[in-house]
Amino acid sequence: MPKLEHIRCQRDQVLMDADSPLDHVFFPDSGVVSVVAVYADGSIIEMATIGREGCSAVQAVFGAKVSSVRLLGQIPGDAARMSRATFTGAMASMPAFRSLMYAYIQAFLEQVMVSVACNGAHSLKERLARWLLMMRDRGDDDALQITQNLLAEMLGVQRPSITNAARELERAGLIARGRRQVTILDRPGLVAASCECYQLVRARIAFHLPKTYG
């Protein structure tokens, strides 16, 4: 605990950029961080999300000193961070911490693999429902402070496409859209509208990290 620095993560804040030194490991508490790929034209697409169930340690565990991805604040909230040197030392000297990190990495990699398959197998409406549910699982409020532009970037589609998908969910009474906000009105209904990938990712996280979902 003395080695942790507590910080506030803002929306759209770049906590670490691609090709920058991997100096810190972040542990979100009440916020959500997106792991995004950055392309030559400046466009981005989300590969995974990190909430209070995990941390940004995957590359650090394998000894990387330079980040290959961007860590982007998605949902504002609190987080803690430690230096990579401190993290490496904890991995070497604390077996329980090391085991927990390995368990989380398995859950993280399975989330990435499911997301890749989901992008090719399921409709945008199903993927949007899954993404909103994953955000809700990591927070404490049904009102998610996100914009449709952000949703389009994270899901790798044009804004008109995300608008149409969100409108379908809204017409079904599952969500309500506001200015820079999406509110979940019917979580069970949104689960039913989502693809099976949501429950699969949730089950894998619960398997590797049993205390995550109580």
Q: What is the DSSP string of the chain?
A: -TT-EEEEEPTT-EEE-TTSB--EEEEESSSEEEEEEE-TTS-EEEEEEE-TT--S-HHHHTT-SB-SSEEEEEE-EEEEEEEHHHHHHHHHH-HHHHHHHHHHHHHHHHHHHHHHHHHHHS-HHHHHHHHHHHHHHTSS-SEE---HHHHHHHHTS-HHHHHHHHHHHHHTTSEEEETTEEEES-HHHHHHHS-HHHHHHHHHHHHHSTTTT-
pLDDT at 35 over 90: yes
- pLDDT value at position 142? 92
Burial 66-101 (b: 16+ CB within 10 A, else e): ebebbbbbbbbbebbbbebeebbebbeeeeeeeeeb
pLDDT at 214 over 70: no
Q: Give the pLDDT mean for 124-141.
A: 90
pLDDT at 213 over 70: no
Better-predicted residue by pLDDT, 192 or 141? 192
- pLDDT value at position 30? 86
Q: How confident is the model at residue 179 (pLDDT cuts 50, 70, 90)?
A: confident
Q: What is the dihedral sign for C-alpha 195, 162, 32, 58?
A: positive
pLDDT at 155 over 80: yes
Q: Give the pLDDT mean for 168-172.
A: 97
pLDDT at 120 over 90: no
- Domains, the chain, ranges and CATH? 5-94 (2.60.120.10), 119-208 (1.10.10.10)
Q: Do residues 112 and 103 lie in contact, with contact meaning Cβ atoms separated by under 8 Å? A: no
What's the order of all strands across the beta sheet hosting 44-50? 14-16, 70-75, 32-38, 44-50
pLDDT at 139 over 80: no
